[in-house]
Amino acid sequence: MHLDYGDSVQVRSADPSEPQKAGSIVGITPVETEEQAVLFGSPIGTVLYTVEFGDGSDALIPEVNLTALDE
């Protein structure tokens, strides 16, 4: 999957009872170094996306937890 700035996405939670939230991609952060891997708690090669939600909040989400929404 390839996501880009402005794409609408849905965040999948590890907890199936938790509602899925929709938002937009506002940042893209590839994890490329060991220092970044430790800082973000994600392995090298992971792509993290900053997703902004309708209430103005945002979160850094790994690509595997996102589903693109058709517009």
pLDDT digits (tens, 9 = 90+) for 34-68: 999 999 999 999 999 999 999 999 999 999 999 99
Q: What is the pLDDT of residue 16?
A: 75
If pLDDT is split at 50, 70 and 90, which confidence band does 71 have?
low
Torsion of CA 56, 46, 14, 66, to 10 degrees: 50
Q: Which pTM was predicted?
A: 0.87
Provide the CATH topology of domain 8-68.
Answer: SH3 type barrels. (2.30.30)
Among 57, 55, 69, 70, smallest CA distance to 12 is for 69
